[in-house]
Chains A and B, each alone.
Chain A
Amino acid sequence: METEQKEKDSQRLQLILDLMRFRGQLHAVDAFLWLFIMGLPAVPGLIVREFFNILTADATLGWNVYSVLGLWIALVTVNVGVIFAGRHTKTQHRFAISALVRRNMLDALMQRPAAEPLQNQNGQVTNVGEVISYLRDDGRQIEDQLQFLPELNGIGVFAVFSFIILLTVNWQVTVFIFIPLLVIVGVVQWTWNRIQKLRHDGRQATQKVTGFIGEMFSTVQAIQVAGATESVLRHFRAANDLRRKTMVRDELFSAILGAVFRNIVTIGTGIMLLLLALRADLTLTVGDFALFVYFLGFIGEFLAFFGLFMAFIRQTDVAFDRLTSLAPERQPRFLTESKPMYFNTLLWQRVDLPPIEQPQRDPVKQLNLLEVNDLTYLHPDSGRGVKDTNFTLRRGELLVITGSIGSGKTTLLRTLQGMLTPQSGTIRWNGQIVKDPKVFFVPPRSAFVPQVPMLFSDTLRNNILLGLGRDDETVLNAIYTAVFDQDVRDFPAGLDTQVGSRGTRLSGGQVQRTAAARMLVRRPDLLIFDDLSSALDVVTEGQLWARIFENKEGWRPACLVVSHRPALLRRADQIIVMGDGQVRAQGRLDELLAHNAEIQHIWGQDQNAE
C-alpha cells in the first residue's frame, strides 16, 4: 500500500516535471511574474504598519503619512503592469499545457490498433463521446494543476517573507503559526482517499453523460425513426441526475475542506492575538499590531491555499490515471512527452506549419510476394475471428475472399493490416517478416476501403487527398477510376464540395466511391477492398474493376478483395472461401465449383437462371 503510494507520487511528480520542462522558459517567466502578482499585496502590510506608527508617533523611519501613501500608489501602478504581463504569459502557458496533453492523448489513441475498441481504466469499452470528456475535463485539471504551482509559489515566497518579518517583531508568538499548518497537513492526509474517490465518481458520471450525448446524436436517425425520443431522453435525464448527485457531493466536500482550512487559520490567528494581548511584558505598537493582523491574514491565505493544493494534487492524480489508462500499452509519460506544437508566438504571430509528411516509395520494397502464414485473431469477448489463415499473393494478382456473413472476412483484412493485433502467425513482404503490420500496411505499400468508409467534414478534395500532395488532375483521374466522375461533374462545387459531418450529404454509394478514389490516388502496391457490393450496383462495380485492371500507366497493384460478385470471382486468380473463421477452400473458380458446396451455393444464387 505504502510503496504503491510512493510509486504513484513519484510518477505524478515525473509527469508534472515533464510538463514544467515543456515550455520551461515560458513557465519560468510566468512563475516569476506570478511571484509579484501574488506577493505584491504583502508589501502594503509594511506601509500600513508605518502609517499607524507615524500616527501614534512610534515611527523611526522619518516618513510622513502622505509620502507613505504615495508610495502605495506607486506600488499600484507596478501591480497593474505585472498583472497584464502575468495574465498574458499565463494564457499562453495554460493553453500550451492542455493542448500538449490533448495532442499526446489523441496521438496515442490514433496509434492503437484501429479496429480494437477504445477501453477505459476498468477495461470497459469507451465511446467517442466519453473520450471527449477525458480530453476536455481531465485535460483541464492538468492545466489547472500546472498553474497552481507558480501561484502557490508566489504566495509562499511572500508568506515566508511575512513570517520572517513577524519573527523579528515577536518570535515567541510567531512560531505558533506552525500549529495551523500541521493541522491542515493532517486533515489533507486524513481525507486523501475520500477526495480522490469523490472526484473519480464525479468524472465517471460526467463521462457517462457526454458519452450518452454522443451516442444519442450518432444514432439520431434511428431514434427519430423509431419515435423513441421520449425514452432515450428519459435515460439521458437519469444519467444527468446521477451526475448531479456525485458532483454536488464533490463540490460540497471541497467547500467543507476549504472551510475547515480557513477555520483552522482563523482560530490560529485568534489564539495568536490572544497571546499577544496577554503578554503583559510585550510592548507592541498599534502599527505592529496592524502588521500582525495584515500578515497573519496573508500567511493564513497561504496555508488555506496550501491545503487546497494538496487536495488538488489528489484530484490531478485521478486525471492522470484516467488519461493514461486509455493507452494501457504505453508508459504513462507518453502523456507529457514534449512535441513540436507550432503555437503562435507570445506576440500572437502565427508560426508556419511544416509540410505534411509524404509517403516515400522504395523501389526495392515494391511488392512482389505477400505471404501470410497461420494468421490468427480471435475476438476476446466472442471467441470469433480468424484462425490459422494461410495465403500468398503476387504482384498484379487478384485474390477474392468470399464466404457468408460472420465467417471472418473483415477480421482477416483487419488483422493483416494490424488494425487488430495478430495473436499468432507471420506475414512476409517479399520474404521479409513484417514486424508491426499496423505501421507497415500504409501507403505507398497498401491502402484500404472499409465496408462502411468514413468521410470527414471537409471538401471532397481534402477527403480524397487527406494531405497527400497531388494536383487536381491526379485527383480527377482517381475519381474516374473509382467511377465517381459522373457524380462529381454534377456537383456545382466540384472538388470543393463540402462533404458534411460523417459524409452524410453523399449517398452510400458515393461515399464508397470517394473512399475508393482516396485509395486509388495513393497508387499503392496492394489494394484492399472490403465488400463494395453493399452500396454499389453491379454495373457500377463492374466498371470500377475494369478501370482498375485496365489502367494505362502500367500500375499493376495486387488486389485483396472481399466480394461475392460472380464477375469478380470469375476474374480472380485465386479465391478463398471462409467459414467460421477458417479457410474452407482455396483455388480458382472452376476448381472450387467442382468440389465446394459453399461456393456452389453462392454461385448458384446469382446464376440460377443461366
Chain B
Amino acid sequence: MTVALLGGITLQLIHPQVLARFIDVAVADATADALLNLALMYIGVALGEQVLRVVSVYAASSVGWTATNALRADLAAHCMSLDLAFHKTRTPGELIERVDGDVTTLSRFFSQFIIIILGNGLLLVGVVIALFFVHPLAGVGGLVFTVAALLLMLRLRNIAVPYFRDYRQQAADFYGFAGEQLTGREDINANGAHGFFLRRLFEINQAWMLVYHKARLASTTLWASTDATFALGSVLALTIGALLFQGDLISIGMVFLIFNYFSQLARPITQIREEIELFQQADASIQRIRELLDTESRLDAGGETRIPDGAFALVFDKVSFHYDDPDSDEERDWALRDIDFELPAGETLGLLGRTGSGKSTTARLLLRLYDPQRGEIRLNNVPLRESPLTDLRQRVGLVTQDVQIFEASVRDNITFFDDRIPDRQVIEAFALLGLTSWFETLPNGLDTPLGSDGRGLSAGEAQLVAFARVFLKQPGLIILDEASSRLDPLTERLIEQAVDRLLEGRTGIIIAHRLATVQRTDRIMVLENGHVVEYGKRAELAQTPDSRFSALLRAGQMDLLA
C-alpha cells in the first residue's frame, strides 16, 4: 500500500513536467520524435498512476472491512453481554443501526483516511518543493497558499460533527420505529392503527430532515471555502507567473508549469477536505460507538470459582429483589422478599403462585439476569456471583413458556449456531429425550427452517426444541416454566416424557400449571406477592389438611393458583 502510495505521488509530480516540456519543445519547433516520446511518456505516467490507484483501493478496502468487521463483532459481543435492563430500552432495529450503520460510516475512514491524508500531505509537500525548483517566488507562493488553505480547513473541521451525531441518532430512531412497526403488523392491522404510524413517520421525517439539513449546511461551508480558496490559488499562480514572465525570469512553459502545479495543489486539498468531511461523520459515529461501549452491564462477569459438577444443591439465603432501580436498596415494591429455602441436590421443586407472585423472577435470579439487592443465592455452596457468568449460564438450563426461535434451521436453533456440535449429537439428544418419532416428522430433518414467529411449530413443539437446547448443555440445574396453554395429548405425552429424562440426576424447579406435573415433584413452594407462603415436602403438604397445597388438590384446579 505504501509503495502504491509513494509511486502514485511521484507520478503525479512528473505529470505536469511532461506537459511543460511538451509546450516548450513544441514552441521551439522540435522534431516529431521528441514530441512522440513525450506523448508516450505522458500516457505511460497516466497508466501507472491508475494501476497504483486500483492497488491502493484494493488494499484500503480490505483493511477497512477487516477493521470494521472486528469492530462490529466487538460491539455485538459487548451488547450481548449487557443485561436485560439495557435491551429492554433498545429495539433490535436501533441496535442494527448502531452495530452496523455507525460502523459502516467508519469503514471508509478506517481504510482510507490515514492513507489519503498522508498521501495527499506528501503530495502537497512534493508540489511545493517542485515549485521552489521552478522559481523561489513560485515556491513561496505555493507554500503560503497551502498553509493558508490547510489552516482554514482545520478551523472548520469540527463544524458539522454535532449535527451528524444528531443525524445518526435520528436514523437509528427511524429504523427502530420501522422494525417495531413491521414486527407488530398483526396488532396494527387489527386495530386499524395505520394512521397513527403514518403520523409518527411524518414526525420522524420532519425531525430527521431538519438535522440532515443542518449537518449538510455545516459541511457545505467547508466545501465552498475550499473551492474558493482553490480558485484564488490559481489566480495567485497566474499572477506570479505573469510577474516572472514579464520580468523575463522564466519561459512561457514554466508559467504553464506553475499554473499546473497550483492546480495540482487543488486535488489533494479537495481530497483532504472530503476526508475531513467524512471524518466529521465518522467522528459522530465514533462518539456513539464509544458511548455504547461505555455502557456497562449492571452484572459483573462473576468470580473464578467453578461450581462443582453433579446435580446442584440450591440455597436461597434471605434473598430480596426489586426491578425499579437494581442498584439501590431503598424500600420499594419488592418483587421478592426474604426468600429463604434450601433444595437438596437431585430433588425437584414445584413452584406455584398467581401471575406476578414472583415465580419468573426467581428463575431470572438463578440465571443472574439480575442480581438480588439483598441476600445471596448459592449452588453447591458457591455464591452465584463468584461463579463465572458464562459458566453459570452454561450449567443452569431454563426452558421458558414462550421459547424464542431464530429464523434459522432446527439445527441452528438447537446448537445456537455452534457448528462444532455434530449432527449426531443433536439427533442423540432427541433420542435420549424420547423425541425421535417427533424429529422424524420434520420435513427436512435438522435442515427444516423455523420462523422467528414460531412458524411451522406449535408452542408445545417449540418447547421440545428448547428441551433439546438445554439437554445439550448437560446442566446441573433445570428450571422449567411449563406451558400453560392446552397441549394436544400427543405433544403433552412427549413433553412429560422429555421432562422426566431431562430431570434425571439433576436438580429441577418447575413452574407448574398442571396437576400431573406437580405430582412428580419432591417439594412444593407457594409464592404470593413475592413472599413464600408455603414450603415443604409435597407428600407432607398433601396430607396437611389446612395447607394451601392440599386445598388445591381438593379443588383440582391448578388455574386457581398458577
A94-118 vs B, CB cutoff 8 Å, 1 = contact: the mask equals: 0100010011001001101011011
* Cβ-based interface call for B422 (8 A): no
List residues of A (63-86) whose CB comes within 8 Å of B's CBs: 65-66, 69, 72-73, 75-77, 79-80, 83-84
Contact of B393 among A227, A348, A453, A607 (CB under 8 A): A227
Q: Are B559 and A538 in contact (CB under 8 A)?
A: yes
Q: Are A405 and B191 in contact (CB under 8 A)?
A: no
* Cβ-based interface call for A450 (8 A): yes
* Cβ-based interface call for B452 (8 A): yes
Q: Is the interface of B mostly helix, strand, loop or mixed?
A: helix
Q: Are A467 and B81 in contact (CB under 8 A)?
A: no
* Cβ-based interface call for A310 (8 A): no
Which residues does chain B contribute within 8 Å of A270, judged by CB atoms?
39-40, 42-43, 46
Docked CA distance A76–B53 (Å): 31
Q: Are B562 and A244 in contact (CB under 8 A)?
A: no
Q: Indicate the member of B177, B201, B394 with the most A CB atoms within 10 Å.
A: B201
How far does the Cβ of B286 sit from chain A's closest Cβ, in whole Å?
A: 19
Q: Are A91 and B213 in contact (CB under 8 A)?
A: yes
How far does the Cβ of A406 sit from chain B's closest Cβ, in whole Å?
A: 4
- Tell me the nearest residue of chain B to A289, going by C-beta: B23
Q: Are A76 and B183 in contact (CB under 8 A)?
A: no
* Cβ-based interface call for B185 (8 A): yes
- Mark the stretch among A187-195, A365-373, A501-509 that contacts chain B: A501-509
A329-342 vs B, CB cutoff 8 Å, 1 = contact: the mask equals: 00000000000011
Q: Are A502 and B91 in contact (CB under 8 A)?
A: yes
How far does the Cβ of B209 sit from chain A's closest Cβ, in whole Å?
A: 5
* Cβ-based interface call for B132 (8 A): no
Q: Are A44 and B231 in contact (CB under 8 A)?
A: yes
Docked CA distance A237–B65 (Å): 12
Q: Indicate the member of B40, B88, B420 with the most A CB atoms within 10 Å.
A: B88
Q: Are A69 and B239 in contact (CB under 8 A)?
A: yes
Which residues does chain A contribute within 8 Å of B394, judged by CB atoms?
227
Q: Are A405 and B486 in contact (CB under 8 A)?
A: yes
- Tell me the nearest residue of chain B to A260, going by C-beta: B50
* Cβ-based interface call for A494 (8 A): no
Docked CA distance A350–B46 (Å): 51
B124-142 vs A, CB cutoff 8 Å, 1 = contact: the mask equals: 0000000000000000000
Docked CA distance A381–B196 (Å): 34
Docked CA distance A419–B395 (Å): 41
Q: Is the interface of A mostly helix, strand, loop or mixed?
A: helix
Q: Are B228 and A454 in contact (CB under 8 A)?
A: no
Contact of A220 among B80, B367, B412 (CB under 8 A): B80
Docked CA distance A131–B178 (Å): 9
* Cβ-based interface call for B520 (8 A): no
* Cβ-based interface call for B402 (8 A): yes
Which residues does chain B contribute within 8 Å of A417, judged by CB atoms?
189-190
* Cβ-based interface call for A241 (8 A): yes
Q: Are B201 and A125 in contact (CB under 8 A)?
A: no
- Tell me the nearest residue of chain A to B203, going by C-beta: A353
Q: Are B43 and A267 in contact (CB under 8 A)?
A: yes
- Mark the stretch among A21-29, A150-158, A249-257 that contacts chain B: A249-257
Q: Are A382 and B456 in contact (CB under 8 A)?
A: yes
Interface size class of A (residues with CB under 8 A): 35 or more
If A213-B99, A607-B556 touch, whether A278 touches B32 (CB-CB below 8 Å) is yes
Which residues does chain A contribute within 8 Å of B39, judged by CB atoms?
270-271, 273-274, 277
If A76-B231, A91-B212, A106-B201 touch, whether A609 touches B554 (CB-CB below 8 Å) is yes
A268-307 vs B, CB cutoff 8 Å, 1 = contact: the mask equals: 0111011001100000001001100100000000000000
Q: Are B101 and A136 in contact (CB under 8 A)?
A: yes
Contact of A407 among B77, B180, B488 (CB under 8 A): B488
* Cβ-based interface call for B271 (8 A): no
If A118-B182, A251-B61 touch, whether A290 touches B256 (CB-CB below 8 Å) is yes
Q: Are A537 and B562 in contact (CB under 8 A)?
A: yes
Q: Are B489 and A404 in contact (CB under 8 A)?
A: yes
Contact of B176 among A109, A227, A286, A457 (CB under 8 A): A457
Q: Are A51 and B404 in contact (CB under 8 A)?
A: no
Which residues does chain B contribute within 8 Å of A77, judged by CB atoms?
228
Contact of B179 among A214, A243, A251, A490 (CB under 8 A): A214
- Tell me the nearest residue of chain A to B82, going by C-beta: A220
How far does the Cβ of B77 sit from chain A's closest Cβ, in whole Å?
A: 5
If A79-B231, A407-B488, A442-B189 touch, whether A211 touches B407 (CB-CB below 8 Å) is yes
B543-556 vs A, CB cutoff 8 Å, 1 = contact: the mask equals: 00000000001111
The interface size of chain B toward A, counting residues with CB under 8 Å, comes to 166
List residues of B (289-348) whose CB comes within 8 Å of A's CBs: 333
* Cβ-based interface call for B398 (8 A): yes
Q: Are A286 and B245 in contact (CB under 8 A)?
A: no
* Cβ-based interface call for A259 (8 A): yes
* Cβ-based interface call for A387 (8 A): no
Q: Are B252 and A286 in contact (CB under 8 A)?
A: yes
Q: Are B195 and A357 in contact (CB under 8 A)?
A: yes
Contact of B418 among A115, A214, A234, A609 (CB under 8 A): A234
Which residues does chain A contribute within 8 Å of B185, judged by CB atoms?
109-110, 112, 114-115
If A76-B232, A95-B212, A609-B554 touch, whether A132 touches B178 (CB-CB below 8 Å) is yes
- Mark the stretch among A9-17, A163-171, A514-522, A550-558 that contacts chain B: A514-522
* Cβ-based interface call for B453 (8 A): yes
Docked CA distance A91–B400 (Å): 49
* Cβ-based interface call for A359 (8 A): yes
Which residues does chain A contribute within 8 Å of B72, judged by CB atoms?
209, 236, 240
B525-562 vs A, CB cutoff 8 Å, 1 = contact: the mask equals: 00000000000000000000000000001111101111
If A244-B65, A454-B186 touch, whether A342 touches B202 (CB-CB below 8 Å) is yes
Q: Are A466 and B196 in contact (CB under 8 A)?
A: yes
Which residues does chain A contribute within 8 Å of B69, judged by CB atoms?
237, 240-241, 243-244
* Cβ-based interface call for B113 (8 A): no
Q: Are A209 and B100 in contact (CB under 8 A)?
A: yes
* Cβ-based interface call for B432 (8 A): no
Which residues does chain B contribute within 8 Å of A518, judged by CB atoms?
187, 191
* Cβ-based interface call for A479 (8 A): no
* Cβ-based interface call for A224 (8 A): yes
* Cβ-based interface call for A608 (8 A): yes
Which residues does chain B contribute within 8 Å of A262, judged by CB atoms?
46, 50
* Cβ-based interface call for A235 (8 A): yes
Q: Are A83 and B418 in contact (CB under 8 A)?
A: no
* Cβ-based interface call for B109 (8 A): no
List residues of B (416-435) whose CB comes within 8 Å of A's CBs: 416-420
List residues of A (368-403) whose CB comes within 8 Å of B's CBs: 379, 381-382
- Tell me the nearest residue of chain A to B76, going by C-beta: A236
* Cβ-based interface call for B93 (8 A): yes
* Cβ-based interface call for A585 (8 A): no
Which residues does chain B contribute within 8 Å of A230, judged by CB atoms?
390, 418
Which residues does chain A contribute within 8 Å of B225, judged by CB atoms?
80
* Cβ-based interface call for B382 (8 A): no
If A99-B205, A533-B485, A537-B354 touch, whether A233 touches B73 (CB-CB below 8 Å) is yes
Q: Are B46 and A531 in contact (CB under 8 A)?
A: no
* Cβ-based interface call for A229 (8 A): yes
Q: Are A259 and B51 in contact (CB under 8 A)?
A: yes
* Cβ-based interface call for B152 (8 A): no
- Mark the stretch among B154-162, B215-223, B504-512 that contacts chain A: B215-223
Q: Are A219 and B195 in contact (CB under 8 A)?
A: no
Docked CA distance A126–B365 (Å): 35
Q: Are A252 and B355 in contact (CB under 8 A)?
A: no
Q: Are B186 and A231 in contact (CB under 8 A)?
A: no
Docked CA distance A381–B443 (Å): 9
Q: Are B99 and A609 in contact (CB under 8 A)?
A: no
Docked CA distance A429–B341 (Å): 59
Q: Are B176 and A501 in contact (CB under 8 A)?
A: yes
A589-610 vs B, CB cutoff 8 Å, 1 = contact: the mask equals: 0000000000001100011111
Smallest CB-CB A-B distances: 4 pairs: A609-B556, A467-B196, A404-B488, A227-B393
Q: Given A76-B227, A382-B456, 6 other A-B contacts at CB below 8 A? A: A80-B224, A117-B455, A132-B178, A271-B39, A507-B360, A609-B557
8 A-B contacts (beta carbon < 8 Å): A83-B220, A226-B398, A260-B50, A286-B27, A357-B195, A457-B176, A501-B91, A505-B88
